[in-house]
């Protein structure tokens, strides 16, 4: 029998295969060691291969594509409804095999090695930023116990940390001073690593045409532009900017029953890192609108009618639609005033 569709459940060492023919009859159920995966698929005629999108799926997708197979990645949330009973590798592979053939299934494009490398920079940077925040908060708390406060804002904390790392004395017991100095040294080390990573990110940004165009959008900086350029492989798979914003979790949840439609909070589905970057960028524009309303007149008017957080999320939603338009159609951002005058 000829294998038409294969469901492949990925793992670190043991991979589960569920294969069916064109009529849907089961042809093979077997477990493969890591080194057996490529030889197994090399012997097969080109067929449809389904996998759940995960950390290693893009690598295996590229490898199997090179062997001539049609590889399609799916979100695990979309595969779960096809699991019949229990949680086993064999059951997951069968569910993947069933889900990949559904005509309404949504697939995840396979990322290139260059895109994965850029996302590795982002993940490392995000980890170091969180570690820096934890250390700074620890220093704030320790000094606060001795009546020493640090003004709000990271730059104030980094100024104090730099002075402590350089040997400045603080009015605390000697033992506590040594603890704070050790933490300050860690903060400065993290800051140096962050600077190195951000230089690498800037170099990638300068050589990526999509990222350079996205950076022209207000509220999108180098970090946000490179994150979108590395994550969104095929913007054409989204039919509209609204669908793209919904993919990011920036659209309200719908609750409809009996002909009545109610819109709730935003769904918060999709990539949390991209959504956070969008909200952070929108928050910076809200600060500008409060400080200088003439620079963000439209946003300033919205802030008069809506709470700041609601306006921030609404602005992030609008920015997401602009991001999709530029990625799908090309060009750079032009403000409404400049477009009208042109």
Instruction: Tell me phi and psi for residue 100, to 5 degrees.
Output: -70, -20
Clarify whether residues 165 and 72 are in a common domain: no
Question: Is residue 151 one of the residues assigned to a domain?
Answer: yes
Give the containing element (helix H, strand E) for 169. Answer: none
Is the CA virtual torsion 108, 110, 113, 114 positive or negative?
negative
Instruction: Tell me phi and psi for residue 254, to 5 degrees.
Output: -100, 135
Clarify whether residues 166 and 238 are in a common domain: no
Distance CA 176, CA 83 (A): 55
**Residue ending a domain, choose from 66, 91, 108:** 108
Question: Is residue 52 one of the residues assigned to a domain?
Answer: yes
Clarify whether residues 254 and 200 are in a common domain: no
32: left (phi over 0), alpha (psi -120 to 50) or beta: beta
Which pLDDT score, from 0 to 100, does residue 258 have?
A: 74
Which pLDDT score, from 0 to 100, does residue 2 have?
A: 87
**Residue 187 CB neighbours (<10 A):** 24
In total, how many domains does the chain have? Answer: 3
Clarify whether residues 230 and 329 are in a common domain: yes
Clarify whether residues 258 and 277 are in a common domain: yes
Clarify whether residues 314 and 277 are in a common domain: yes
Nearest Cα residue to 15 out of 66, 43, 56, 48: 56
**Residue ending a domain, choose from 73, 90, 108:** 108
DSSP letter (8 states) at residue 1: -
Clarify whether residues 27 and 55 are in a common domain: yes
Question: Is residue 341 one of the residues assigned to a domain?
Answer: no
Which pLDDT score, from 0 to 100, does residue 264 have?
A: 77
Q: Which domain holds residue 54?
A: 5-108
DSSP letter (8 states) at residue 151: -
Clarify whether residues 16 and 104 are in a common domain: yes
Clarify whether residues 186 and 171 are in a common domain: yes
Question: Is residue 161 one of the residues assigned to a domain?
Answer: yes
Which pLDDT score, from 0 to 100, does residue 168 have?
A: 83
**Residue ending a domain, choose from 207, 235, 253:** 207
Question: Is residue 253 one of the residues assigned to a domain?
Answer: yes
Question: Is residue 127 one of the residues assigned to a domain?
Answer: yes
Question: Is residue 118 one of the residues assigned to a domain?
Answer: yes
Q: What is the CATH number of the domain that holds 82?
A: 3.30.420.140
Distance CA 136, CA 194 (A): 15
**What would the DSSP string read from start to end of 13-58?**
SEEEEEEE-TTS-EEEEEEEEGGGHHHHHHTSPS-EEEEE-STTHH
Which pLDDT score, from 0 to 100, does residue 1 have?
A: 62
Question: Is residue 340 one of the residues assigned to a domain?
Answer: no
pLDDT mean for each 10 residues of the chain (342 residues): 91 94 92 95 95 94 96 94 89 95 93 94 96 94 90 88 85 89 93 95 95 95 95 91 93 79 82 94 92 87 90 94 94 72 46
Clarify whether residues 217 and 203 are in a common domain: no
Question: Model confidence over 95-150: pLDDT tens digits?
Answer: 999 999 999 999 999 999 999 999 999 999 999 999 999 999 999 999 999 988 88
* Residue recorded with tokens 């295996």: 60
Clarify whether residues 233 and 279 are in a common domain: yes
Clarify whether residues 248 and 328 are in a common domain: yes
- Strand pairing of 5-9 and 48-52? parallel
Which pLDDT score, from 0 to 100, does residue 164 have?
A: 87
Q: What is the pTM of this model?
A: 0.86
């Amino acid at each position: 029998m000829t294998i038409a569709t294969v469901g492949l459940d990925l793992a670190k060492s043991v991979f589960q295969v569920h294969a069916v023919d064109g009529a849907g009859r089961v042809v093979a159920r077997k477990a493969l060691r890591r080194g057996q995966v490529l030889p197994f698929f090399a012997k097969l005629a080109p067929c449809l291969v389904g996998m759940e999108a995960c950390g290693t799926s893009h690598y295996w997708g590229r490898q199997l594509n090179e062997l001539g197979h049609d590889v399609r990645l799916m979100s695990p949330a979309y595969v779960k409804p096809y699991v019949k009973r229990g949680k086993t590798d064999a059951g997951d592979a069968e569910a993947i095999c069933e889900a990949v053939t559904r005509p309404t299934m949504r697939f995840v494009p396979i990322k290139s090695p260059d895109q994965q490398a850029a996302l590795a920079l982002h993940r490392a940077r995000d980890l170091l930023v969180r570690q820096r925040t934890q250390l700074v908060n620890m220093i704030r708390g320790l000094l606060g116990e001795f009546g020493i406060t640090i003004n709000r804002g990271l730059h104030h904390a980094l100024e104090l940390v730099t002075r402590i790392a350089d040997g400045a004395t603080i009015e605390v017991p000697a033992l506590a001073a040594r603890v704070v100095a050790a933490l300050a040294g860690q903060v400065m080390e993290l800051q140096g690593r962050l600077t190195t990573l951000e230089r690498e990110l800037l170099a990638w940004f300068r050589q990526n045409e999509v990222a350079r165009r996205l950076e022209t959008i207000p509220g999108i900086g180098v970090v946000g532009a490179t994150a979108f350029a590395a994550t969104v492989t095929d913007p054409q798979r989204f039919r509209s900017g609204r669908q793209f914003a919904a993919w990011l979790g920036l659209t309200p949840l719908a609750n409809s029953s009996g002909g009545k439609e109610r819109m709730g909070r935003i769904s918060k589905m999709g990539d949390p890192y991209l959504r956070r970057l969008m909200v952070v960028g929108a928050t910076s524009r809200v600060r500008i609108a409060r400080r200088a309303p003439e620079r963000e007149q439209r946003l300033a008017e919205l802030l008069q009618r809506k709470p700041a957080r609601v306006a921030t999320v609404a602005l992030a939603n609008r920015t997401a639609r602009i991001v999709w338009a530029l990625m799908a159609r090309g060009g750079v951002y032009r403000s409404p005033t400049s477009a009208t005058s042109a």
